[in-house]
Amino acid sequence: MEKQMFKKGMVKTVLEIILLSLSVLFFGFLTFSFGKTIFVGTDILESKTFGDYVYMKVKYLSESFGGNDSGSFHFASVKNTNGKLNDFILYLPTDVVERDDVKTLIEKSYEAGADDLAPLRLNGYVEKSFDELDEAADEAYKIYTGLEESESAADYLGNYYVSYTSASPMSSVDFNTWMGFVLCVAILIGSVINIVQAVSRQTRLSAKIKHAQELYESNPDYQQGMEQVKQPSAMFYKNCQCYVTDDYVVTYQDGPEVFRIDQIQELYGYDNLQYKALMSILFGVFAGNRTVHQLVAITADGEVHIFATQSMRLTVHQQIVTQLLTRNPSIRLGREGKTAQELGLDLSNLNLVKVVGFYGSNKPWQGRTLNTFSIE
């Protein structure tokens, strides 16, 4: 019995934290990926789709090899992670070509020591190439790089070009990407909140169990209560892990507690709204909200004892309260502070729902009817 009473439930909490941590890692990665696409764009070296908003860290930039009244086409070289150069066709508007940083890069790209140049970041959209551009690029690229006449520039440049834009990457993000980002952020935050809740819950439970073990070794009431649960007269309510013995309430649903029945001065129900952030995010607000119903006993020493947690106002509460009132008729019920006799209750057919003010959602201390007990 003692082993069961002082069980900390650490394994369950550790498994919960491991699963939530995996969720944090997975959705953290997805959040980073979506965030990079939305706020930074896609690296041209990773782009695979026409219409992608991309950024290029241009190491070398050629002179124009063609264009129109609005702008011109250039060869842009970008280094990959292995240091190898990849060449692309880049369309730049005339006003961009006239920028000092762009002009300088074009000039320096043809000079000795160009390897020391810092890359210039340029943004654009990936567009499908067209025949006239492919022909001009093939001819110019062979001169620019010294390709053999038998080789094709398309093998190096592909069938697309990058059209420069000054717009931010967010301007090109579609609704589905935004929704994916928001959902991943929400799940990530919900998982972190649940980890904090699990750690906090386990910390409180461990501290409560440690305190209870100390009391069990030094407090006669704890020892006597634990002995009485072994007696045939002890009433055990399995689904809320609570014993009502001749003289004690012994509960271990949320950490062990033992208190004398004759010391109970107030008894009422508490409708405790519990919130699970991750459940709310995944299945809606209402899925994450759960109300459990608990009994609250205030003893003569001013202590508040919350026990017998139930998901519904089941008959088990009525059975427990009936046993407690049988042993201590002076207990004041609900928030009106009246005894069962004053309320005219029939203990053989007790219905707590009909006891005005018995159940309520206000916090346990606020739910008290009297202010005669000191709070330490």
**Contact, 143 vs 75, CB < 8 A?**
no
Tokens representing residue 200 in the block: 């906090």
pLDDT at position 5 over 80:
no
Residues 46-72 have a mean pLDDT of 93
pLDDT band for position 211 (cuts 50, 70, 90)? low
pLDDT band for position 280 (cuts 50, 70, 90)? low
Distance of alpha carbon 293 from alpha carbon 312, whole angstroms: 6
80, 120, 173, 331 from 109: Cα distances, Å: 18, 12, 33, 91
Tell me, what's the pLDDT at 132?
Answer: 95
For the ranges 22-26, 104-108, 155-159, 359-363, the lowest mean pLDDT is seen at: 359-363
Tell me, what's the pLDDT at 371?
Answer: 45
- Which residues are paired to 236 by β-bridges? 243
Torsion angle in degrees (nearest 10) through CA of 243, 207, 331, 368:
-140
Q: Output 194 or 44, whichever has higher pLDDT.
A: 44
Q: What are the pLDDT digits (tens) for 42-58? A: 999 999 899 899 999 99
- Which residues are paired to 241 by β-bridges? none
pLDDT band for position 118 (cuts 50, 70, 90)? confident
Q: CB under 8 Å to 272, separation ≥6 — which residues?
A: 291, 292, 293, 294, 309, 361
Beta strands (DSSP E) in 186-281 are: 235-237, 242-244, 248-251, 257-260, 264-275
Q: Is the pTM of this model over 0.75?
A: no
pLDDT band for position 190 (cuts 50, 70, 90)? confident
pLDDT at position 23 over 60:
yes
